[in-house]
Amino acid sequence: MVLKLYGNVVSTCANRVRVVCEELGVSYELIPVEFTKREHKSPEYMAVQPFGQVPYLDDDGFKVFESRAIARYIALKYGGIGRLIPDPKDLQKTALFEQAASIELTNFDFYAGTLALDNIFKPLFAKKMPNPAAIEALKSGLEGRLAGYDVLLSRTKYLAGDEITIVDLFHLPHGSLLEKQGIDFLVSGRWPNVTRWWIDISSRESWKKIASR
Amino acid sequence: MVLKIHGNKMSTCTNRVRTVCEELGVPYEIVPIDFSKGEHKAPEFTAIQPFGQVPYLDDEGFKLFESRAMARYIALKYGGVGKLIPDPKDVQKTALFEQAASIELCNFDPYASGLARENIFKPMFGGKTDSAVVEELKTTLEGKLAAYDIILGKTKYLAGDEYTLADLFHLPYGALLEKQGIDYLVSGRWPNVTRWWKDIASRESWKKVTSA
């Protein structure tokens, strides 16, 4: 039975999952959950995802939410070991993968995700305009973190080592939205290793396919 | 050779890792990093941890940072599989563990750590608490805990009916909420959350880390 992903093509978190499916050639059906109709806050939706967040996965009745958990599950189950995630038996490789996964969430998404929320989604869906001081603080924070990224990416090709993993892919949705906000941190070459890495991961076929729809 | 944790006993993230060591009976040594002397921003430190954040682990030359990654590594290597993390071969149990781990990082930590930053760390280092930010963080955290209460009404712990790292990861910033006069975890307003919090906060491993 085909995987059912409850989300939509605008949702950054649904796209985080979709790009992993595309990488692994895993078929899925996108079941629309429309933000504009507040479907993600309906009782039926929240019975599965109590935070009212998109997406969740239904694999033949087994339900998972949190896009990164969904992505890890798909990678583990559908041929991602050795391609997008390390073999759990390789302790050190797994540890460096987990280090990278934690870096993405605490040192990138915290800033890039909140910038997207404040500059794009809240104005669009909640008519709430951003606080300029808060935006500057987030940008400043992200600049500091990208300096750290540049050091790491001068040592290895990707964030967990010399092979691409789902953690690199996790950066794509919010990373892509930075340019749309006029923030050129990833593409300008100011942090040359970051730009090298970003151009690499954002030009993958899987992402181009997702980003075009 | 004994694990070396470069950090200090005041650091929430260091204590996240120490608790895992205590749970599994893994000996470790703290190599002290003094925030007040800026040792976490010194070149020797940032050569290993380029974000200048504490802690990092040195396991006989293998170096790792990010407290949750360190915790996972220690659990995988030193007998935590089946005790603190599920067997990776159990794909569904692993998925629900990763769901819980992601919930902690996305739906709890930004708010709980943000509150600690505004109310405790900023004043400690000469800054000023922003009360508007505090109110916004508290309101958001309340909404998140309402969802936690639903999840914890169905299972004993966040990933299922067994205690895992995902529960443990909440301890350092969760414990700091009460010190700020925020009683969300203990008041019973969200009864399943309170039941769960009292359980995880009373474990010997946590009591040992917070008393030392």
pLDDT exceeds cutoff 90 at A36: no
Q: How many residues does chain A have?
A: 213
Q: How far is CA B196 from the centre of its chain?
A: 15
pLDDT exceeds cutoff 80 at B189: yes
Beta-bridge mates of residue A32: A7
pLDDT exceeds cutoff 80 at B134: yes
The residue in chain A having the minimum alpha-carbon distance to the alpha carbon of residue B140 is A51
pLDDT digit string (tens) for B35-52? 889 999 999 999 999 999
Specify the pLDDT at position A62: 98
Q: Which of residues 129-148 of A touch B (CB under 8 A)?
A: 144-145, 147-148
ipTM for the predicted complex: 0.96
pLDDT exceeds cutoff 80 at B1: no
Specify the pLDDT at position B36: 87
Specify the pLDDT at position A116: 97
Residues on chain B touching A77 (C-beta within 8 angstroms):
91
User: Average pLDDT, stretch A104-119?
Assistant: 97
Q: Tokens 């030009």: give the residue.
A: A203
Q: What is the mean pLDDT of chain B?
A: 96
Q: How far is CA B93 from the centre of its chain?
A: 21
Tell me the pLDDT band of A125, cut-offs 50, 70 and 90: confident
pLDDT exceeds cutoff 90 at A178: yes
Contact B165, B20 (CB under 8 A): yes
A66 and B99: CB-CB below 8 Å? Answer: yes
Any A CB within 8 A of B96 CB:
yes
Specify the pLDDT at position A212: 82
Q: Measure CB to CB from residue A69 to each of B51, B95, B146 and give the nearest one.
A: B95
Any B CB within 8 A of A77 CB:
yes
Alpha-carbon gap, residue A142 to A148, rounded angstroms: 10
Residues on chain A touching B105 (C-beta within 8 angstroms):
102, 105-106
Q: Measure CB to CB from residue A50 to each of B52, B69, B150 and give the nearest one.
A: B150
Contact A75, A84 (CB under 8 A): yes
pLDDT exceeds cutoff 90 at A3: yes
Helix (H) or strand (E) holding B31: strand B28-32
User: Average pLDDT, stretch B61-86?
Assistant: 97
The contacts found for A88-93 with CB under 8 angstroms, 24 or more apart, are: A88/B76, A88/B88, A91/B73, A91/B76, A91/B77, A92/B62, A93/A160, A93/A161
pLDDT exceeds cutoff 80 at A158: yes
pLDDT digit string (tens) for B91-132? 999 999 999 999 999 999 999 999 999 999 999 989 999 999
Q: Which of residues 152-211 of B touch A (CB under 8 A)?
A: none
Instruction: Report residue A184 as tokens.
Output: 């050129």
